[in-house]
Structure 1
Amino acid sequence: MGYAMSRLEMDSELCDGDKTMPEAGSSKRASKSLNKLDHEIAQVTKLNTSPHKQLAKLVPGTQKLSVSPVKMLVGREANYSARGRFSAADRCHMLSRYLPVKGPWLVDQMSTRAYVSQFSADGSLFVAGFQGSYIRIYNVEDGWKVQKNILAKSLRWTVTDTSLSPDQRHLVYASMSPIVHIVDVRSAETESLANVTEFHDGLDFSSSSDGSYSFGIFSVKFSTDGRELVAGSSDDSIYVYDLEQNKLSLKILAHTSDVNTVCFADESGHLLFSGSDDNLCKVWDRRCFIAKGKPAGVLSGHLEGITFIDSHGDGRYFISNGKDQTIKLWDIRKMAPNATSYSGLRNYEWDYRWMDYPYEARDLKHPSDQSIATYKGHSVLRTLIRCYFSPVYR
């Protein structure tokens, strides 16, 4: 995760000054050294800069050879630059080898705003959901060709979330309604118009006992085995739907405000992570509910609502993005049995939908922050921006 931190640092500062250019005639030697690196991207990328000259004290021959990220991170921890961070040259060195430097470029354009988007697990597909009822699935490996053009059924406000099944055969989509629809992605039809060219099955997440249709779903995710769906809703609850039995199997009154994000923690399906506008992240263990609605643990540290959670997949670590303009890394072994939302530091009015984040709030810290790392440098404005682990580091 040190590499993730360096990326944010690099993105937030210009790559100027303190650069050491490769010596003339050293391109052949640099090219040979690239083949020794274990990172396949670096093997096909030319170096534009070299690391800070002080790194040579730790790694002899550094000025003539490319340096692995691990050694650079060790050097940063050892504070070889005497500034407690990467130098400008280091950032350029990493940028030129590991981060995209071309683009962005326009792939497609719709008449309404794109509200959600995500790559498939293997990176071959890209799903984008638009406020105008359309969901498009692009085949990345085929020049971003539209593989499926879906016109959503019974949409309320916007497509709030989508999720591809692990086998990439089905896609579910949600809106501000308790009905989640499922589409066959691999069918022959490119145009999937709800109940016209194809049938979009509706999965009812409302409780049969009250018949209420007053809530909407902000987040929906497949389990790793593809047998269940978990959803977070505007009625402060978490829902689990059994696809094999085609029925709702669990409802938890989980938070005191909207549940913006929820996901399965690992392959077992026993653990769930949730994040809410009550500023709290919670861990739920389906095997041992001590009391109705009681989580296995609570993690506090965000000062504003949680917009998204992504699990590392090991049932231990996850990251969360918050409206407080931070991404936090968590280890559930540090969770507490309970916690309450902390708002004692807030003496300002702010709404992310149309206001910039207050300057005086940017350096505030939660007095009982349980996260193990905090990353800054991005903005959560006008939409609930999401965060994901890089597939390489899962």
Structure 2
Amino acid sequence: MFVTASEVAIDEMGYAMSRLDIESDLFDVGNAINEAGSSSNRPNRPLRKVDDEIAQLTNLRSGPPDRLRRLMPGKQQLPVSPVRMLAGREGNYSGRGRFSSADRCHMLSRYLPVNGPWLVDQTTSRAYVSQFSADGSLFVAGFQGSNIRIYDVDGGWKVRKNILAKSLRWTVTDTSLSPDQRYLVYTSMSPVVHIVNVGSATTESLANVTEIHEGLDFISPDYRGYSFGIFSVKFSTDGRELVAGSSDDSIYVYDLEANKLSLRIVAHTADVNTVTFADESGNLIYSGSDDNLCKVWDRRCFIAKDKPAGVLTGHLEGITFLDSRGDGRYFISNGKDQTIKLWDIRKMSSNTSCNLGFRSYEWDYRWMDYPPQARDLKHPCDQSVATYKGHSVLRTLIRCYFSPEYSTGQKYIYTGSHDSRVYIYDVVTGAQVAVLKHHTSPVRDCSWHPNYPMLVSSSWDGDIVKWEFRGEGEEPASTNKKRVRRQYYY
């Protein structure tokens, strides 16, 4: 069923339709969008466009050449039809004689992965982590307890590796696959990160029985605190380092070549729920915490111990996840204030002197709904470029991402949600372009294939399902799994 953004409404939990809030004088008001939810009487809010450098970059990455739009006959509208794009290629309107990367993204980004779902796997355990490898040939899913599965995407989604993790506390909190896809690290509420050789021929990987799961100790020699747990871990682009965020308010960097901890930063005043490298250089690190702050750390110029290069304020509640655009400038964060925020690190400040003020309500996101009176609050010193609303961030550290550069030009932001859905937003307009509904429990993680219009969502209901773009009446490729009844709208 096709409906416009202004016609979609979410009726669970009283969350209104998505909107993009811009706290800057540089942005112009666009068309209005209807925000009515079944239990919310909010007035209509204007939908504003991001009139910023990232809007220009996104359009350059995912838009057709202006010459094609000006000279080709027909209406000058976006998106340009495939027929006009093909005619423009034959007429060499781009001046290249072929599709550019932006032309390719413009063609592919209109085919969103919204058809389905098709069942990949079904378990009795909650799914916490799910990610494609860098080339899309492998898919990793981590479940509550001690089970991690690696699927061969190109081989019909067969289980290539079934990992029974070692010495876990509570659950698998995060996993990360090395860039060369030879090793996987997994974490729990423990200071020891385990690394597994996933390139071996053994399918069943039982820790230190069928295979060695080497333990990397993240406790520094001078550490005198309690035994902490790790919420987030990421490989560097070159595969030589790991960065981790922990429950002792710190960031850790582990040197895999030297096999030792190389850096510990007391980064925040609360749990560090998420960390990531900003770009390929590995010099910049982004962190997000339950102290509501995002921080930028430049390893080339530590002015003082534990002092960040800059701080970004704007979230009213703790931050659950960060994703970098990969350019060392922009990143997004998911917050317990039920928003995703887009950040430009060139707007960061050197301190956190802005006083948020006394909160007039008490709540705990682990078991309470977000207070209705808090949904329209804004941080008095919000430094974010844009704010996206519509999904819900409750019960668990729900994750959000930029869509792939290769196929979409990072034109979209997508996220899991407590209300059992996956939401896809347009980066520039903030429009909610798709909502995927199948699951019956929170969707903690989801992953978009780096090259194809395919998205996989994983939920606390134990289902791992994939969404794809397919032609009318076309059946999915055989995966030796039953097809799930289609339940989606956009």
- Give me the TM-score of the superposition, normalised by structure 2: 0.62
Gaps of 5+ in 1: 1-6, 15-37, 41-55, 70-93
Cα distance in structure 2, aligned partners of 1:162 and 1:346: 35
Q: Tell whether the 8 Å contact from 1:8 to 1:376 is kept in structure 2 after alignment.
A: no
Cα distance in structure 1, aligned partners of 2:355 and 2:287: 17
Bigger mean CA offset, 373-382 vs 105-114: 105-114
1:170 aligns with 2:169: no
Q: CA deviation at 1:133?
A: 0.5
Instruction: Give per-residue Cα distances to partners, 1:313-364, cap 9 Å, x unaligned.
Output: 1111111111111111111000000115854263111211112212211111
Give the equivalent residue in structure 2 for 1:140.
153
Q: Secondary structure at the match of 1:349?
A: coil
1:149 corresponds, among 162, 185, 188, to: 162
Q: CA deviation at 1:209?
A: 2.3
1:250 aligns with 2:263: yes
Q: Tell whether the 8 Å contact from 1:320 to 1:387 is kept in structure 2 after alignment.
A: yes
Bigger mean CA offset, 272-281 vs 100-109: 100-109
Greater RCO, 1 or 2 (C-alpha within 8 Å, sep 6+):
2
Q: CA deviation at 1:121?
A: 2.0
Q: CA deviation at 1:381?
A: 1.5
Instruction: Give per-residue Cα distances to partners, 1:101-141, cap 9 Å, x unaligned.
Output: 32223321222211122222222222111112001111222
Q: Tell whether the 8 Å contact from 2:194 to 2:214 is kept in structure 1 after alignment.
A: yes
Q: CA deviation at 1:390?
A: 1.0
1:377 aligns with 2:390: yes
Cα distance in structure 1, aligned partners of 2:348 and 2:78: 43
Give the equivalent residue in structure 2 for 1:21.
none
1:127 aligns with 2:140: yes
Q: Aligned AA for 1:265?
A: A
Cα distance in structure 2, aligned partners of 1:277 and 1:119: 27
Cα distance in structure 2, aligned partners of 1:64 and 1:289: 49
Instruction: Give per-residue Cα distances to partners, 1:248-301, cap 9 Å, x unaligned.
Output: 000000000000001111111111100000000000011111111100000000
Q: From the superposition, tell whether residues 345 and 329 of structure 1 become closer, same or farther in structure 2 (CA, over 3 Å).
A: farther
More strand by share: 2
Q: From the superposition, tell whether residues 8 and 198 of structure 1 become closer, same or farther in structure 2 (CA, over 3 Å).
A: farther
Cα distance in structure 1, aligned partners of 2:271 and 2:204: 34
2:332 corresponds, among 305, 319, 323, to: 319
Give the equivalent residue in structure 1 for 2:475.
none
Give the equivalent residue in structure 1 for 2:204.
191
Cα distance in structure 1, aligned partners of 2:144 and 2:128: 6
Q: From the superposition, tell whether residues 97 and 202 of structure 1 become closer, same or farther in structure 2 (CA, over 3 Å).
A: same
Cα distance in structure 2, aligned partners of 1:107 and 1:98: 21
Q: Tell whether the 8 Å contact from 1:220 to 1:229 is kept in structure 2 after alignment.
A: yes
More helix by share: 1
1:297 aligns with 2:302: no
Instruction: Give per-residue Cα distances to partners, 1:224-259, cap 9 Å, x unaligned.
Output: 110000000000000000000000000000000000
- Give me the TM-score of the superposition, normalised by structure 1: 0.76
1:344 aligns with 2:357: yes
Aligned residues: 326
Give the equivalent residue in structure 1 for 2:239.
226
Q: Secondary structure at the match of 1:220?
A: strand
Cα distance in structure 1, aligned partners of 2:9 and 2:150: 34
Q: CA deviation at 1:168?
A: 1.1
Q: From the superposition, tell whether residues 294 and 68 of structure 1 become closer, same or farther in structure 2 (CA, over 3 Å).
A: farther
Give the equivalent residue in structure 1 for 2:85.
none
Give RMSD over aligned pairs: 3.1
1:280 aligns with 2:293: yes
Q: In the TM superposition, what are the counterparts of 1:1-394 in structure 2 within 5 Å?
A: 9=5, 12-13=8-9, 61-62=74-75, 67=80, 97-210=110-223, 214-339=227-352, 343-344=356-357, 346-392=359-405, 393-394=409-410
Q: From the superposition, tell whether residues 140 and 342 of structure 1 become closer, same or farther in structure 2 (CA, over 3 Å).
A: farther
What percentage of residue pairs aligned between the two structures are identical? 79
Q: Tell whether the 8 Å contact from 1:177 to 1:213 is kept in structure 2 after alignment.
A: no
Q: Secondary structure at the match of 1:108?
A: strand
Gaps of 5+ in 2: 11-59, 63-68, 83-106, 411-490
Q: Tell whether the 8 Å contact from 1:237 to 1:253 is kept in structure 2 after alignment.
A: yes
Q: Secondary structure at the match of 1:106?
A: strand
Q: CA deviation at 1:178?
A: 0.3
